Every structure is written in structure tokens, then in C-alpha cells.
Structure 1
Amino acid sequence: MTDLTIKTLTDPVFLTAILVGIAVFATMMTLLPAFGGDPLKTRMKAVALERDELRAKQRARLAAEAERRSRGLREQQSTGMRNIVDKLDLRRLLADENTVRHLKTAGFRGQNPMTKFLFFRLVLPFAGLSFAVFYIFGLGVMAEKPTMIRVFACIGAAYAGFYAPVVYVTNRATKRKESIKRAWPDALDLMLICVESGMSVESAMRKVADEIGSQSVELAEEFILTTAELSYLQERRQAYENLAERTGLEPVKSVTQALIQAERYGTPVAHALRVLSAESREARMTEAEKKAAALPPKLTVPMILFFLPVLFAVIIGPAIMQLRENGGFFGDQPKATSSSSVE
């Protein structure tokens, strides 16, 4: 058995077969990466994809948790308000297209602001009436007045509560319009510079929003929202029209119409922005001149009530004090000596 094994191991044919097998195996191991690709790159790519997926899932989970924590109580309140509004059908009774437009102009978008608006219009009249009844009849205020006048005062408090949300939304919309109107010429100049430098309208709006935020947060918010709408709406015209509707300003409507016409007919956007920018600057200068021209009549009454009395006191006061020290206008005069007494 040992002799057979030694004879087999020393056989040249057997040794040649072993060497050929080893050579074939080494050749296959050498050429396999060339045909199968780089395994390291494949593994690194798979790891990168899996890492991105895990990171996206983790980020979405954290964002959902933060959103849930920040909106927990608010969503419960909104749900209760929504149930009351839906049961009483207040949208059909108290809301119309003008209400939605006013809320958008004031910066309230979505269904929750509309629900809260209608809910407070329902609740505040009863709250105002209850407070007025307690204040007038309970505490005895206006006791000397007739009962009918006191009842009318309570009804007036209820009406005030009913229109209080409308007044709040109107004031909020007015302040928001003023903020956008003051910053609009500067924003238009910045947009013109960005467009002339070769940037697209979306990139220009995003850049202007970053720069104009220190002057008007409302305008920066509108630019960011318009940029988002330009990216996902099917028609860009709708995004520009939404911007004009949310702001409710004529200069903004003019610019949006110019952008719509420029994209429809292929005219240069920079030329239209340059003309509108010059018009906005002139309009702002004209408004400043009007305010300056209206200043003297407004200062007449304060000057008469506050400045002139102090000025008269400063000018005439020392003279009056000197006259009082000298005996007044008709003080004692020295008597003239007669000639008889001298003699």
C-alpha cells in the first residue's frame, strides 16, 4: 500500500495533472474579478444605499415625532372646533369666497384657520353678551340709565363679539399688506439683479427671500411659497396668480401679469422687471412726497395746543415778571415838585 502511494505521488502524469489543476484554479481566481466587477465597490454601494435608507427613515420618524409633540394639543382643539363647525354647518352660513380671500391676505392658509375663524364668530357673541350682562346688571354699572339703554348695551357687546374676528383679520391683512408694500420695490430690484445675472425665476425668488427676510418676513414667506408652487404645480401661471391673490396688492399683480406674459410669449423677463422696478420706485417716492405734503396740516393742531403756549410763556414770561417787579403798567410814578415848595 505504501509502495503504491509512493509510486502514484512520483508518477509524472499525476504530478502534471495536479499542477494543471492548480494553474487553472489560480487563473480563474485571477480573472474572476474582471468578469464579476469590483466586489468592494459593489459592497460599498450597497452599504451607502442602505445607510441612506436608514437615515431617511430615521429622519422621517424624528420629524413625525416632533410634529406630533408640537401639534398634539392643538390638533385636539382643532378637531373639537371642526366638529362643532361641521355639525352647525357654519361654513355655509358665515363663510364665502371673500372670507377665504381675506384670510389668505392676512396670512392664514388652510382649513384650520377657517375653522377657528368660524368657531370664534360663534362663541364670542355669547361671551360678550355674558360679560356685558354680568358687568351691567350684576355689578350695577349704568344703574342710573334706563333699562332699555342697558339692554341695548348688552346687545352691542354681543355684536362686537360677533365682528371681532373680522376686525382682527382685517387689521392683520392691512399690516401684512403694508409690510409687503414697503419691501416690494427693494425685492423687485434684487430680483432684477438675479435675473440679469443668469438665474432662473425660481432661483431668483429663493435668493431674494433669503435677503429680504430681514426687512419683511411676510414677503419672504410669499416668495418661498411661490417657489414651492412653481416646482410642483402643472401650470406656472397658477403659481403667479396665487401670489397676486395672497398679497392683494396692485404692484404685485402687475409683476405677476408681466411674468405670465413673458413666459407665454417668450419675451425677456429682465426687461419687464426693469420697467416695473422703476415704476415701483417712483410710486414709493410719490407716496413719500404725499406724506410729506400732508405733514404741515397735521402738525397745525399739535403746534397750537402744545408748542405755541410754551413759546409764548418763554417769550412773554420774563417781561411780565419784570413789569411786576416795577409795579406793573400803572405803577407809582415819582411826583413832580412844585415851585412854591422849592421857594
Structure 2
Amino acid sequence: MNIVETLTDPSNILTAFIALVVFATIITLASPVMRNSGLEGRLKSVANRREELRRRSRQSLAARGGGGGPATLRHQEKDLYKTVVERLQLSKLLEDPKVVENLAQAGFRGPGPVTTFYFFRFVMPFVFAAVVAFYLTVVNGFGMLPIQKICACVAFLAAGYYAPNVYITNVAQKRRESIVAAFPDALDLLLICVESGMSIEAAIQKVGSEVGAQSMELAEELSLLTAELSYLPDRRMAYEGLARRNNHPGVKSVATAMIQAERYGTPLGAALRVMAKENRDLRLSAAEKKAAALPAQLTVPMILFFLPVLFVMILGPAIMRVQDIFGKH
């Protein structure tokens, strides 16, 4: 009971909350110094994708020539996630037709992330429900009736089911913002490379190596685009894959312009110049939209944090003066 009283003591909860806020502040301030770009790891994953496309191309050539090929393109890894998903057939039970596309937008490719996603979609509801049930029955029930506790467990059960989707959506959103922020500059570099006489593959590879310091996600996408242009049977598939993985109007318009330039032979330099200007305008409009929404977002913090301080500073001396006057009388 002493442990329960300690955990439910309001002063201890407030102390733990303040400690958590201070820890999060320190981590936020120190993260830029300790952050590792991870560009080498991302480019290594792109190299693995390039090797996979190369194996697929060789298998296609072997199949056309009547030769035999390997039964699979990937090394099958037997781990806990894969075993659970295969035994329970979670890919059919929890089937999501857009899971591969959503994972690709978040930067997760291959069969491994899909297996991990289905595993956590199956496990997280039970974890959420178990944690809530333990807290409400052992730590603090808040005076809730049994039916209310059951409803809370069911609510968190549903929240656990959607938690992996929320996580993937947030990761994809942050990745898209990083790509869009550096995309107009990358188009300018690509335009310079193309107009200097470089081929589109060499230009994309060069821009990908240069833009990595600004956005490693964009560098990864451009390196992957170079690999797909080299090994996919149709170059249109590579550009469509770029648009599908990023799911942004600016990137989709650039992919469409490149497809039209490939099909009809239109000048690629002029199209890139127009696309760079449009993406720069999109970036500027997004910044203006955030700036316009800033006053409304600052209203609540100002009410909670600034106004009490102003009242204390303005009314404090007056209150002290009034107390002194009444104290003399």
C-alpha cells in the first residue's frame, strides 16, 4: 500500500512530471549536437535496393532465356515477428491494402517493415489494454465503476490498434517536410547539371550526393531513383515510384514533367526551371500559412504563461502598497 500511496500522491506525480519536462528540454537542446545524420546507413539501404533491382533484372533475363533462377529475390530471415505473423496469418487477418505505400512514404521498404507493422498492430491493442487495466485495478481506480473500467480498457484497445498507423503517419509527415524543404534547391542543382550536358541519371546522382547535408531523406530518394532508372524495365515506373513514395503535389508535378519529357522529347531544362519555381512558391506559401496561424496558436500560451506574470508585475506593487497603508492604520 505504501507503493500505491507513493505513486498516487499528487506531489510525487507533479515532481515526476516536472522532471520529465526538464529531461525533455535537455534532450531537445542537446539533440542537434549529438544528432547523427545517418546518411551512410540510408545510402547503404539504397545500395541494397539497387542490388535487389539488379538481381531482379538478371532473373528476368534468365527467365526470358529459359534458364532457371533463384526461387526468391530476398534472403528469408526467420525471426520472432515473421514467425508470429506467419503462424497467425496476420497479413490476411489485419490486411491493409495501403500498408506498403504508407511504409514507403515513411522510408521503410522491403518485407521486413511490413511484417513488423502487422506484428505491432496485433500486439499493441493488448499492451495498451493490459497497462490501463493494471493501472485502474492496482494503482488508482479514480472511483470508477467496473463497467467504466471495462469501457476504458476497450477504448485503449482500439487506440492500440490504430497506434502503429499514427506512428507511420507522423514519420511520413516529417520525412515529407524534410524532402519538400530541400526539393526546390535540388531542382535548381539538377537544372544546372542538365544544362551543362550531363545525362539525367548522372545529374540525379550528383544532386543526391550534394543535397545530403541539407536533407538526407531527399538524398536517399534521389539515389533510389537513380537505381530504379538503371534497372527497372520502364523509366516511367521509376518516376511514378518517386511520386508515390513522397505523395506531394510538387514532387508529383516534377515526376509528370520528367515522364512527358521522356515520352515526347520535350526540353527537360525548361520543364525543370518551371517546376523549380512552382516548388519554391509552394514552399513560400506553406511558410506564409504557418506564419498566419502563429497568432492563434500563441493565444493559449500567452494566457497561461505571460498574462499571470504581467498581472503580478503590475498589480504586485499596488497590492503591497495597499497592505502597507492598511497595516499602518
Common fold, TM-score beyond 0.5? yes
Decide whether the 8 Å contact of 2:250 with 2:282 is kept in 1: no
Matched, 1:222 2:221: yes
Matched, 1:186 2:185: yes
Flag structure 1 segments of 5+ consecutive residues without an equivalent: 1-73, 333-343
Spell out the pairing of 1:1-343 with structure 2 (5 A cutoff): 75-77=77-79, 80-137=80-137, 139=138, 141-142=140-141, 144-315=143-314, 327=325
Q: Deviations over 1:172-203 (max 9, x none)?
A: 11111111111111111111111111111111
Which structure is richer in relative contact order (CA contacts within 8 A, separation 6 or more)?
Answer: 2
Q: Deviations over 1:140-176 (max 9, x none)?
A: 5316211101112222232222222111111111111
> One-letter code of the match for 2:271?
A
> What is the Cα deviation at residue 258 of structure 1?
0.1
TM-score, structure 2 normalization: 0.70
> Structure 1 residues 129, 191: CA separation in 2 closer, same or farther (over 3 Å shift)?
same
Flag structure 2 segments of 5+ consecutive residues without an equivalent: 1-75
The separation in 2 between residues aligned to 1:133 and 1:304, in whole angstroms, is 36
> One-letter code of the match for 1:106?
A
SS at match of 2:140: coil
> What is the Cα deviation at residue 298 of structure 1?
2.8
Decide whether the 8 Å contact of 2:254 with 2:275 is kept in 1: yes
> Structure 1 residues 192, 314: CA separation in 2 closer, same or farther (over 3 Å shift)?
same
> Structure 1 residues 317, 124: CA separation in 2 closer, same or farther (over 3 Å shift)?
closer
SS at match of 1:145: coil
The separation in 1 between residues aligned to 2:298 and 2:227, in whole angstroms, is 47
TM-score, structure 1 normalization: 0.67
> What is the Cα deviation at residue 299 of structure 1?
2.9
Q: Give 1 or 2 for the bigger CA radius of gyration.
A: 1
> Structure 1 residues 319, 224: CA separation in 2 closer, same or farther (over 3 Å shift)?
same
SS at match of 1:108: coil
The separation in 2 between residues aligned to 1:173 and 1:124, in whole angstroms, is 20
The separation in 1 between residues aligned to 2:189 and 2:157, in whole angstroms, is 49
Decide whether the 8 Å contact of 2:81 with 2:116 is kept in 1: yes
In the comparison of the two structures, how many residue pairs are matched? 253
> What is the Cα deviation at residue 308 of structure 1?
4.0
The separation in 2 between residues aligned to 1:136 and 1:303, in whole angstroms, is 35
Q: Deviations over 1:222-264 (max 9, x none)?
A: 1001100111111111100011111111110100000000111
Q: Once structures 1 and 2 are overlaid, which stretch shifts more, 214-223 or 250-259?
A: 214-223
Identity percentage of aligned residues = 54
> Structure 1 residues 155, 96: CA separation in 2 closer, same or farther (over 3 Å shift)?
closer
